[in-house]
Amino acid sequence: MAIPKIQNGKKIRYTVLAGAAAVVLLGGGLFLLTSRGQSDQAQAIFPVQRGPLTISIFQAGTIKAKNQVIIKNEVEGRTSIIYLIEEGSRVQKGDLLVELDASSMLDLKIDREISVQNAEAAYINSKENLAVVENQAESDKDIAQLTLDFAQEDLKKYQEGEYPSQMKDSEAKIKLAEEEMERAHDTLEWSRKLWEEKYISENEYKADELALTRRQLDLELAIGNRDLLRDFTYPRQIKQLESDIRQAQMALERTTRKANADVVQAQADLKAKEAEYNRQKDKLDKIEDQLNKTKLYAPADGLVIYATSAQRGGFRGMQEPLMEGQEVRERQELIYLPIGSSSIAEVNIHEASLKKVYRGLPAIVTVDALPGSRYMGRVEFIAPLPDAQSMWMNPDLKVYNTQIVLDGEDPMLRTGMSCKAEIIVEQYQDALYVPIQSVLMVDGQPTVYVASGSSIVPRKVKVGLDNNRMIRILDGLKEGEKVLLAPPLKEAESRPTGTSGPSNNGSAEESSAGLDQQIRSRLDQAQSQNNAAPTAASSAESDFGAAKQSGSDSPVGDPLPMQEMRKQFENMTPQQREEMRKRYESMTPQQREQMRQARQRSQEDPESRHKDRPRQQDAARDGR
């Protein structure tokens, strides 16, 4: 029982010693960390430097051919690659580059050919049927017209031929009956005398008397036939013939309408069959065109580069390499064929740096695969909208595709090579600068913390452009003064609401007053443009701004970029703008032209600003 007690005592003693040692080590560590932090804080200063300063933007990118032919898949839908030329091959015009699977389209082509033949047969049948219908229509109309003509001729024939002839025949019969009755009457008178003298018998006398009666009846019958013809037969026959004419006319109209309707129907059927035939032919032509597009040939001599190898970044960069058997979609880029040795560097400019970059800026490009080589170039194109693929991958990232044209030609540059581009925004031969992290925004003003002896003093400064490492100091510091590299961040929290970035126009109150001045100035300008003819104020805004920056108001003496000129012009009061307008109008055309040329050279070549400064100052003085 004694042994465990001794062991427990040792354990307690060891535990106390271990705790004491831990406290000692912890205290020593805290002391070392504290002393080290104080030492680092004491050394975290930077003396204000004076010397050459280059404002540039570094961006990674990809080398691409300046002039290249893009081979795309033009087959509808999705299809597979059954043949693919090896990447890096030198090809000549007409060489086969890619062949796509066309098995399904071959079966579809046979179906389309059958449909075309059926549609062609229906079209020919409808065409012949139209000819038959047109022929039958003409025949029916001719028969109906002939019936009408015959009806009209029958009426004319009866009125002018048959009826007058029948009337003459009736009149002749009446005349003959009258003469025969007179002769019978004379014969009866003579027979009476002879019978009275007993020369003839009574029977003979009765026979002559009967003959007279017969002649009287014949005359009455002839007169009745004439009256019947004139009063009944003629009017009825006229009405019948006129009715026949009307019926023939209506039959002709019905026949004509029906014939025209049949022709129109046949024509419509022909057009429908023709349209169907053409539609089936177009489908067949489209299938044949799609079959032709399954084989992609080189349109020019060049080096084969897969599109998947040349594309970079975003969703497109995650595509698998192009290979046989891979499924591709319509309008997908497959192969690039560079033409010539001219190259460009394609980079993405972040929106924060976009205000510094404009077309024509010089750039220095280095290629990872060619160490030691440097290529000069210039900014040729800046996309007006941010890259959609980058925004899709990261909605908070806004970058703008920018192309830098490289000077000269180098066959060693290949499409798809990684590169780094340094876009030169400005170059100052003599400038004050400090690290960008030394500048804080306090109450809307750029502020640095200057180490003066054992105290730290905040100081307001005016700043220029920065290159993401160093920022140019326009006013507020001197060479050799020491500023903190790690200023107190809590001071920056005192920024008033509404300030969003650096400002060189004074305090928050001055910024608000400047905004009011801009609003009033623009209202005055709008009213003056509405009520008066255009003046030279718009030209003074650009031309006289360069002269103003070259005068005594500029803290450095170098003309600022056009964006800053316009900003200062807009911040002027209406009186200052009116004074500037009067100065500009008092200048001669030669002085205005000199100012425009100086402004243009300052935008194209920053070094020319120092050369043009005397001329700008002379123009400004002459304007005054």
459-511: pLDDT as tens digits: 899 998 888 889 999 998 888 888 988 887 776 654 443 333 344 444 444 55
What token pair was written down for 272?
């429908």
- CA neighbor of 565 nearest in space, from 585, 540, 535: 540
DSSP tag of 46:
E
Task: Give the residue range(s) of CATH 2.40.420.20 domains in the chain.
Answer: 429-494
| Residue 8 predicted with pLDDT over 80 | no
Mean pLDDT is highest, among 112-121, 459-468, 512-521, for 112-121
Q: Which pLDDT score is estimated for 405?
A: 92
Cα(104)–Cα(87) distance, rounded to whole angstroms? 28
Q: Which pLDDT score is estimated for 39?
A: 40
The correct CATH number of 429-494 out of 2.40.420.20, 2.40.50.140, 1.10.340.30, 3.40.50.300 is 2.40.420.20
Q: Which pLDDT score is estimated for 193?
A: 79
Task: Give the residue range(s) of CATH 1.10.287 domains in the chain.
Answer: 105-293
Q: Which pLDDT score is estimated for 545?
A: 41
Cα(283)–Cα(261) distance, rounded to whole angstroms? 33
Task: Give the residue range(s) of CATH 2.40.30.170 domains in the chain.
Answer: 57-100+303-425
Q: Which pLDDT score is estimated for 564?
A: 52
Mean pLDDT is highest, among 136-150, 176-190, 572-586, for 136-150
DSSP tag of 161:
I
Q: Which pLDDT score is estimated for 531?
A: 53
**pLDDT tens-place string over residues 519-552:** 556 656 655 655 553 433 344 344 434 444 443 3
HSE value, Cβ hemisphere, 13 Å, CA-based, for 332 = 21
- Residue 231 — pLDDT band, cuts 50, 70, 90? confident
- Mean pLDDT throughout 444-459? 86
Q: What single string gives the DSSP state of each residue in 477-509?
A: --TT-EEESS--GGGGGGPPTT--S--SS-SHH
In the chain, the amino acid numbered 79 is T
Which position has the higher pLDDT, 352 or 33?
352
Q: Which pLDDT score is estimated for 471?
A: 92
In the chain, the amino acid numbered 471 is I
Assigned fold of 57-100+303-425: Elongation Factor Tu (Ef-tu); domain 3 (2.40.30)
| Residue 233 predicted with pLDDT over 70 | yes
**pLDDT tens-place string over residues 357-415:** 989 889 999 998 888 888 999 999 999 898 887 788 788 888 999 999 998 888 888 88
Q: Which pLDDT score is estimated for 38?
A: 42
Assigned fold of 105-293: Helix Hairpins (1.10.287)
Strand order in the sheet with 96-100: 295-297, 96-100, 78-84, 327-329
Q: Which pLDDT score is estimated for 347?
A: 92
- Residue 32 — pLDDT band, cuts 50, 70, 90? very low
Phi and psi at 393, nearest 5°, equal -70, -40
- Mean pLDDT throughout 112-121? 93
Cα(25)–Cα(361) distance, rounded to whole angstroms? 59
- CA neighbor of 53 nearest in space, from 435, 430, 606, 461: 430
Those residues whose C-beta lies under 8 Å from the C-beta of residue 473, and which sit 6 or more positions away, are 48, 431, 432, 433, 434, 461, 462, 463, 464
Query: Is residue 310 left, alpha or beta, with left meaning phi > 0 and alpha meaning psi from -120 to 50?
Result: alpha
| Residue 275 predicted with pLDDT over 90 | yes
Cα(181)–Cα(597) distance, rounded to whole angstroms? 140
Cα(535)–Cα(45) distance, rounded to whole angstroms? 53
Q: Which pLDDT score is estimated for 554?
A: 35
What token pair was written down for 116?
């075309």
| Bridge partners of residue 471, in order along the sequence | 434, 466
Mean per-residue pLDDT of the chain? 76
Which position has the higher pLDDT, 471 or 209?
471
Cα(62)–Cα(403) distance, rounded to whole angstroms? 10
CB-CB contact of 509 with 557 (8 Å):
no
